[in-house]
Chains A and B, each alone.
Chain A
């Protein structure tokens, strides 16, 4: 049971790290190749953050030693709902570009467009949360001892996630500017136009 609890803890950290890397790559593509995100792309990024907040909440409670079965299930619930919302947003964008001859929005990555990859990751998260729900409460996540190298690694993953959310928050101020919402097909950072 101990091993399973530790595995669950590290798999939650993998979830946090995975979406942090994806969000970081999306920012890299945006800045390096000047590919500005459309409103649906941004909604999928928000859903990734929303979903990951559930995982991070569980991890933080496990580290503080305050995690209960209720807290665990609430975190999984947040993760599932966030991923479901993301799947709806991603699914809508996939459907917009599904007809033959449509080249899609943005450049494909490893053969699929980013919204298609996003949809796949949301589906994976929903299935993963379902499995963790089945395993609970036998496998309540167990954090490593504080100040250990493993604990520092988990803290670094959490802080990297926090940093990527903060960078997105700064970036959106430049992208949206003084407008109430993003245009359907952004061509420039709106703040610089005023």
Chain B
């Protein structure tokens, strides 16, 4: 998953560099964000157990 996220980020960066269409940049950026949230959700499996 990390490999996919970083390659989506790299492609987004290239799209910005090549002045690609606005929709493409926004779409790729959003895909990266959604994948990152999914990965965060996968790794965070327990509550913090803190008490203040």
Chain A: residues with CB nearer than 8 A to chain B? 39-40, 42-43, 46-47, 49-50, 53-54, 56-57, 60-61, 64, 66, 71, 74, 78, 81-82, 85, 88-89, 92, 95-96, 98-99, 158, 161-162, 165-166, 168-169, 172-173, 175-176, 180-182, 184
Contact = CB atoms under 8 A, between A and B. Distances in A.
A105 to B, nearest CB: 13
Contacts of A166: 10
A42 B17 contact: no
13 contacts: A40-B43, A46-B5, A46-B6, A53-B13, A56-B16, A88-B40, A161-B13, A168-B6, A172-B3, A172-B6, A176-B2, A181-B2, A184-B43
Contact of B25 (A49, A50, A57, A81): A57
Contacts of B22: 71, 74
Interface residues of B, number: 29
Interface in B12-45: 12-14, 16-17, 19, 22, 25-26, 29, 32-33, 36-37, 39-40, 42-44
B1 A180 contact: yes
Contact of B33 (A64, A82, A182): A82
Task: Decide if the interface of chain A is mainly helix, strand, loop or mixed.
Answer: helix
Contacts of B33: 50, 81-82, 85
Contacts of A98: 50
